[in-house]
Amino acid sequence: MNLESLLHDRLEPALEAVAGHPVDPAVRASPHADFQSGAALALARELGRPPREIAADVAAKADLTGIAEVAVSGPGFLNLTVTDDLIGRALRAAAADARLGVAPAAEPERIVVDYSSPNAAKEMHVGHLRSTIIGDALARTLEWLGHDVIRVNHLGDWGTPFGMLVEHLIDLGGDGGGDHSIGDLTTFYQAARAKFDTDDGFRTRARLRVVALQSGDPLSQQLWRKLVAQSQRYLLDSYARLGVTLGPDDFAGESRYQDDLAGIVTGLGEKGLLAESDGALCVFPAGFTGRDGAPLPLIVRKADGGFGYAATDLAALRHRVGKLGADRLFYVVGAPQRIHFQMVFAVAREAGWLPDEVTAEHIGFGSILGADGKMLKTRAGGTIRLAGLLDEAVARASAPAIGIGAIKYADLSGDRRGDYVFDWDRMLASTGNTGPYLQYAYARIRSLFRRAGSGPGPVTVTEPAERALAFALLGFEPAVRAAAGLAQPHRLAGYLHDLAVAFSAFYERCPVLRAGSEVRASRLGLADLTARTLHTGMSLLGIEALDEI
Ligand code: ARG
């Protein structure tokens, strides 16, 4: 049970009686009482009455069971103080429920979450790290809320770089009968790239190889498959190290949609949406203009006849809605691709592939910056490799789960739309809004139970620090719903941090093991509920909770 919604239900009929129509009581936690409603203020103009009078009227008409005190305050707020008994009951109900009182979604939706989605045959870099971490937290949270989540890893496994890579593989292995060993992917990619940049003959062969690959040449296809498979193995290793829930079945790379691209062009043509521009086939969706005011094109087929990133995204979108039956589409991709997605969504709507009742959202995020405020790079100015980053996290932390948790939490604890500075010392600190702080808070409670030798009992609250912790505990549901509904994991992260802080204040002021038996059992009950809430919340963020550190 969540007290905001309980108070909401108490005030709603009274407000309706006073206003003559349904009114949102807008109950919020408040520093002046336990909760506050500002609904009377919003009604003053309409009813032509002073807000304080309206508030008093509502208070008089409301069912006040479980409410210790109602006071009209300031310009017309209703301050609500709940009884200790009501708080105790809410906590006991949460404790008795494996879901901590959070009901699963009444109307589950099928939600496709496109995340991680790196480019195959290249090492995953830190930009993909953000998508992977944020997308995974989102997928876990939505799933826990009862939605039917389909994870999609839109792997960049197609396109011109593969001509170069396959050709390089052939060079290494002779005529196709050879060993064709790829070895380390990054080294392999860099070697191919260096040849492509300096060797005209190789460049020509690479271009021809793209054509061969795309027209189904068996050797080219076989080697391409080998490259993609190797890349997938490498990615799955990284996901396992990171504790990310993406598995082998979640790969749905760009290559999957190649057979659908011609149909995308025909479909757009039939709807009269295509226009030619410098030999390319484009759609100019309504409402998109460049800096010069000219309409912006979404290029569907390039002048050379090849299909690009946008065409593939249109085909993928049509598949997700038409075949997978999605109600919602999430794309967890960096902020620079905002316009791309807005245009893809707009074109898909115009084409009728994205019906009104299906929502599509670009879940954008900022960059990871170095201490110099610029994009995170190695000292030599190169891109940071994910594997090296994870190695360093593990080496710097007291346990692998702490190092990995620190990286993930640093990414999730700030508003995703902003950039953040990658700072080892800050993210690994055991105090402050960090992953280790949560992990230590959790482990400390587990250790309390090892010393207690007895389990939690029924919770009752009386002390102010108990009440404060109780309110923090009861804030779990709104935090999870906000994190999921707004696709803002930092709401949950911030909540968990506040909860850990409230627990530590409680623990300082209220002796647990030394208290008399009933109080001791109740306080252990609060500790247990705190541990369970931390554990559940951390698992929704993909952060491991350790019993002992
Ligand atoms: N592979 C792309 C990149 O690295 C991201 C793909 C995101 N997903 C999508 N459906 N476009 O930039």
CB atoms within 10 A of CB 17: 12
Is the minimum distance from the CB of 154 to ligand 1 under 6 angstroms?
A: yes
Residues 161-180, mean pLDDT to the nearest whole number: 78
Mean pLDDT of 430-449: 97
Of residues 51, 44, 47, 70, the one with CA closest to residue 59: 70
| Cβ–ligand 1 contact at 116 (below 6 Å) | no
| Segment 238-277, tens digit of pLDDT | 999 999 999 999 999 999 999 999 999 999 999 999 999 9
What are the chain's domains? 3-82 (3.30.1360.70), 161-230 (no CATH), 435-541 (1.10.730.10)
Residue 164 burial (C-beta neighbours within 10 Å; 0-12, 13-18, 19+): buried
Give the SS3 label for residue 283: strand
Whole-number Å distance, alpha carbon 464 to ligand 1 midpoint, is: 50
* pTM for the predicted model, two decimal places: 0.94
Q: Which residue's CA is the nearest one to ligand 1's atom 11?
A: 313
Q: What is the pLDDT of residue 121?
A: 75
Residue 279's φ and ψ, nearest 5 degrees, are 85, -10
Cα(485) to ligand 1 centroid in Å equals: 23
Find the mean pLDDT for residues 101-128: 91
pLDDT at 181 over 80: no
- Report DSSP state, residue 196: H
Contacts of 394 (CB under 8 A, 6+ apart): 400, 403, 404
Do the strands 420-421 and 368-369 form a parallel or antiparallel pair, or are they unpaired? parallel
Give the H/E segment covering residue 9: helix 3-19
- ipTM exceeding the 0.95 mark: yes
Where would I find the H helices in 145-260?
161-173, 185-198, 200-214, 218-242
Ligand 1 within 6 A of CB of 156: yes
Q: What is the pLDDT of residues 34-58, one digit of tens each?
A: 999 999 999 999 999 999 999 999 9
Return the pLDDT at 157: 95
| Band of pLDDT at residue 435, cut at 50, 70 and 90 | very high
pLDDT of residue 180: 60
Q: Is the pLDDT of residue 178 over 60?
A: no
Is 477 a pocket residue for ligand 1 (Cβ < 6 Å)? Answer: no
Mean pLDDT (the chain) is 94
Q: Does the CB atom of residue 408 touch ligand 1 within 6 A? A: no
Is the pLDDT at 176 greater than 50? The verdict is no
CA distance linking residue 50 with residue 42, whole number of Å: 11
Residue 120 Cα to ligand 1 middle (Å): 11
Q: How far is the CA of 156 from the centre of ligand 1 (A)?
A: 7
Determine the residue type at 424.
W
Averaged pLDDT for residues 365-371: 93
Checking if the pLDDT of 470 tops 90, the result is yes
Residues in the chain: 549
- At residue 388, the pLDDT reads 87
Looking at beta carbons, which pairs linking 93-99 to residues 24 or more positions away fall under 8 Å?
93/1, 94/1, 94/473, 94/474, 94/476, 94/529, 95/456, 95/459, 95/525, 95/528, 95/529, 95/532
Whether residue 143 has its Cβ less than 6 Å from ligand 1:
no
pLDDT at 69: 93
pLDDT per position as a tens digit, 203-245? 999 999 999 998 899 999 999 999 999 999 999 999 999 999 9
Strands (E), 34-167: 35-37, 67-73, 77-82, 110-114, 148-152
CB–CB of 403/397 below 8 Å?
A: yes
Cα gap 434→406, rounded to integer Å: 7
What is d(CA 225, CA 169) in angstroms, rounded to the nearest whole number?
Answer: 12
Residue with structure tokens 């203020």? 41
Phi, psi values for residue 47, rounded to 5°: -90, -10
Q: Give the distance (Å) from ligand 1 centre to CA of residue 108.
A: 27
